Structure 1
C-alpha cells in the first residue's frame, strides 16, 4: 500500500469514529434506498395496466421507465458532491421530501405526460437521496463495521429486486383499496413520511470539513457524458438504433475524457473537481467500481431475461414470476448476516467466491429451466444466486470506500452508484444482442417470417405467432444461451475482484 493510500485509510478510520446512532441511521436510510429500488423494479410488472389506465401508447410507457433512469443516472454524482458541501442529512431529507411528493404526483397523474414529468422528478430526487447512504457509511462507520453495513446495503438491493415484481403483481392483480396500479406509487407516501421523521431524529449531520467549491463545468461535462451513454443504452433497442444514437454512444467516452482533463486541471488549481481523480489512486476504488459495473451488466440483464422467459415463454403470471424469486431474497438475507464475519477473514476473496457461487446458481437455474423443471428444483439455484450476488455487491461498495475521507465520501458514493446505473443500462441494451436477436431469429424461422430484428413490438408479434409448446422451447433455448454468457460475466467479476485490497486488518473486529 502506498504512503498516500495508507494515510487516506488512516484518515478515514479516524474520521469514521463510531456515532451512537449509526445503526439506527443506516436502517432509516436503507428504507429510502428500498423505496428507490422498489420504484425501479415494481413498475415493470405494472406497465401494461398503466398503459391502459393512462391511455398511452407503447413509446410513452417506455418513458415511464426511461425518464426515471436518466434523471437518476445523470444526477447521482452531483447529488453526492452536494451532500459533501451542504450536509448529507440535509440533502437526504430534501431528496426524501421531493421523492415523496413526486410519488404522490405519479399516483394521481391523469395522463402520460404528467406521469413522465413526475417520474423525472422522482429520479432527480433519488439522485439527491441515494448517494448520501453510502457516503454516510463512509463518514461515520469505522472500517471494522463497514463489512456488516455494506452487507445490509447489498441485502436491501437484492431484496428490493425481488420484492418489486411481487408487490407489483399483488397490487395489479388484487386491486388493493381500489387503487389498482396507482398503489405502486402511493405506497411510497407513508413510507416517505415515516422515513422523513425518523431521519430528522437519528441521521447524523455529516459533511466535508473544508467544503469544496462546486465544479460547474465538471457537472456539465460529467452529466453530459453520462447522458450521451445512458440515453442510447436505455432507448436504443426500442428506437431501432438511429444514427444519432450511435454517434451519441461514440461521443460519450470523448466527453468523459474531456472531463478527466478538466478534473486534472481543477485538482491542480483548487482540489475541487466534481469527481476527484485522486479517488482512483486509493486502494479499492477503481477495482470496486469496476466490479459493481460488471456485476450489474450481468445481473440486471439476467432478471429481465428470466422475466421474459417465464412470462412470454412459459406463460407465468406477473405474480407467479415474482414469487419464483423468493429463494433469491432468502439467500441474500443470509449472505448479509455472514458479511460481518467473512470479510475480515477472507477479504477480497469474499467477492470472488460470491461471483463463483452466483455463477453456479445461474447455471443450476438455467439447466432446470431449460429442462422444463418446476419451482422446487429451481429454488437451490436461485438461493445460491442470492447468496453470491450479495457477497459481491455489499463488499464491493465497502472496498471502494477504503481510504475515502469524509471530504470525498459523497463523490465516491455517487461514482459507485453511477457505475451501477451504467452497468444496468448496458446490461439491458446487450439483451438485444444476447437474447432478443437470437430469439427473434428462431421465432422468424418457426413462423416463416422474414428478418431477424429483435426490437420492440416486432419480437412480440413474431413470438405470438408461434404455438405455445414451441414458444416455450424457443425461450428456454435462448435463455440457456444467455445464461452461458452471464456465467462468463460472473467469472470476469471473480477475476476483477482480485485487484481489490489484500489487507483485511482494517476490517477486523
Structure 2
C-alpha cells in the first residue's frame, strides 16, 4: 500500500503544471507570442533603415513583413498537427530553437535575398512553436480559468505593442556594436534560449495522437494557395499589374477550394488530414476564421502604412517613429483592461462589435487629422489611441469565443488553423494596404495613407458583419 502511495506521489510530482506552475507556463507561452509579435513589428519600424543598409526596392519593406507572415501562415496548420502527433512540448522546443537560429541568420544576412530567405525560415519555425502554446494553455487550465488565461494575452501583447516599435527604433538608432538594424534580430537569441529552458521545465508531456501520417499534400496545397494570393499583391504594382497577377489571385481561390474538397475526401476515407473537417461544422470556429481574416488584415496593414507615413512622409527617425505608435499601443492596453473588467464574459460577441466600431471611429478621426495642417505625433495621438482602445476591446474575447467549442483532440488543428488565418490576415493587410499606399504616393503622403485607411475601414465593416456568425459568448454565464 505504501509503495502504491509512493508511486502516486511520484506521479504527482511528475504531473503537468496544473496548479502553482501553470501561470509560469503561461508566461513562457506569452514570451513566445511576444517574440512573434515583436518580429512582426520591428521590421516595420526598421524597414527603411534595412533597405538603406542592404539595398533592395520598395517591395523589400513589404516582403520583410509579408514573407514572415506568409511562411508563418503556411506552416501553422502543419505546426498544430505536429504538436498533436509528436507532443506539444517537444514541438514547442524544436520551434523555439529553430526560431532562434533563424534570427541569427537574419542578423548576419548580406543581401536582400538572404534576409528575406531567413525571414521565411523564421516564420516557418515560428509556425512550429506558436500553435503549441495555445494547446498547452487549453491543456493545463480548467475551463473556468481559461477566460482569465486567454485574457492575460491582452495586457502582455499590449505591452509588446508598446515596447516593440520603441525597442526597434532605439536599437537601430543606438547602433550597438556598430551593427545597426541587425541588433533587432540578435535580441531574439537570449529570449529564445530562455523560452526553451522554461518550456523544458514547465510544460507537461502532452499525450500524442494515434495519427501516424502527416498530410503533406494538404500542406503543399495550403502553401500554394497562400503564395498565389500574396505574391501578386506585393509584386504586381512594381510590374505594372500584368495579367499573371490577376490570374494568380484567381487561381489561389481555386486552390483553396480544391484544398477543402481534398481534406474532406481524406476524412471520409479515414485518412489523416491537415485540418480536421469537423472543425468547420462548428459555428464559432468558422465564424472566427472569416471575421478574424478581415479584422487582422485591417490591424496589421494599418500598422505598416502608419510607420511608412511617419518615417517617409514626416521624416521621423526610427526611434521617434516607434514612439509615434505608443498612443495606439497604450490604447490597446486600456481596451483590454476595459474588457477584462468582466465585460468579455458578460457581453461576449457584442464587445467585439463595440470594439470594431470604436476602431473604425478612430480611423475616421485619423484621416481628418492627417488632412489638416501641422501633422505631428501629438495631433495624431488621440486618433491612434481610439484605434488602440477599440482593437483591445475587440480582441479580448475573440480567441476564447472561437476556441470554446473545440474538442481536446481538435485543439492542435484548431489552434494552428486559427493562428494561420490570423497571420494570413496580417500578410494580406501588409500586401494590400502597402500596395495601396505606394500606388497613391503620386498624390502625396497624406492622400496615400488616407487611401490605405479607407481600405482598413472596408475590412473592419466586413469583420463587423461577419462577427454575427459567432455565438453570443464562449460559455453560459455561471
Question: TM-score scaled by structure 1?
Answer: 0.82
Following superposition of structure 1 onto structure 2, how do residues 63-74 of structure 1 map, counting pairs within 5 Å? 63-74=63-74
Gapped regions of structure 2 (runs ≥ 5): 1-15
Contact 1:168 1:184 in 2 (8 A): yes
Aligned mates of 1:143, 1:38 — CA distance in 2? 29
The residue number in structure 2 matching 1:22 is 22
Change beyond 3 A, Cα 1:239–1:186: farther
Contact 1:279 1:285 in 2 (8 A): yes
How many residues get paired? 461
Change beyond 3 A, Cα 1:66–1:383: closer
Of residues 132-141 and 272-281 in structure 1, the stretch that sits farther from structure 2 once superposed is 132-141
Question: TM-score scaled by structure 2?
Answer: 0.87
Contact 1:97 1:192 in 2 (8 A): yes
The residue number in structure 2 matching 1:501 is 471
The residue number in structure 2 matching 1:366 is 367
Aligned mates of 2:346, 2:226 — CA distance in 1? 37
Contact 1:21 1:203 in 2 (8 A): no
Aligned mates of 1:64, 1:138 — CA distance in 2? 32
The residue number in structure 1 matching 2:335 is 335
Residue 322 (structure 1) aligned with residue 322 (structure 2): yes
How far 1:336 sits from its partner (Å)?
2.8
Of residues 80-89 and 159-168 in structure 1, the stretch that sits farther from structure 2 once superposed is 159-168
Residue 355 (structure 1) aligned with residue 325 (structure 2): no
Gapped regions of structure 1 (runs ≥ 5): 1-15, 443-473
Secondary structure of 2:152 counterpart: helix
The residue number in structure 1 matching 2:115 is 115
Aligned partner of 1:403 among 405, 420, 423: 405
The residue number in structure 2 matching 1:75 is 75
Q: What are the superposed Cα offsets for residues 228-252 of structure 1, whole Å, 9 maximum, x if unpaired?
A: 2233234333444343333221111
Of residues 156-165 and 89-98 in structure 1, the stretch that sits farther from structure 2 once superposed is 156-165
Change beyond 3 A, Cα 1:497–1:142: farther
Change beyond 3 A, Cα 1:230–1:145: farther
The residue number in structure 2 matching 1:489 is 459
Aligned mates of 2:158, 2:294 — CA distance in 1? 16
Following superposition of structure 1 onto structure 2, how do residues 309-458 of structure 1 map, counting pairs within 5 Å? 309-340=309-340, 341-372=342-373, 373-431=375-433, 434-440=436-442, 442=443
Q: What are the superposed Cα offsets for residues 157-216 of structure 1, whole Å, 9 maximum, x if unpaired?
A: 454444333222211212124331111111011111111111111122334554463223
Aligned mates of 2:136, 2:62 — CA distance in 1? 34
Change beyond 3 A, Cα 1:33–1:234: farther
How far 1:422 sits from its partner (Å)?
2.2
Secondary structure of 1:270 counterpart: coil
Aligned mates of 1:154, 1:207 — CA distance in 2? 29
Following superposition of structure 1 onto structure 2, how do residues 210-221 of structure 1 map, counting pairs within 5 Å? 210-211=210-211, 213-221=213-221
Contact 2:63 2:234 in 1 (8 A): no
Aligned mates of 2:441, 2:89 — CA distance in 1? 47
Aligned mates of 2:206, 2:141 — CA distance in 1? 12
Contact 2:330 2:388 in 1 (8 A): yes
How far 1:65 sits from its partner (Å)?
4.4
Aligned mates of 1:125, 1:50 — CA distance in 2? 22
Secondary structure of 1:403 counterpart: coil
Aligned mates of 1:482, 1:118 — CA distance in 2? 29
Of residues 79-88 and 305-314 in structure 1, the stretch that sits farther from structure 2 once superposed is 305-314
Q: What are the superposed Cα offsets for residues 332-368 of structure 1, whole Å, 9 maximum, x if unpaired?
A: 2233334442121111111111111212222233322
Contact 1:38 1:161 in 2 (8 A): yes
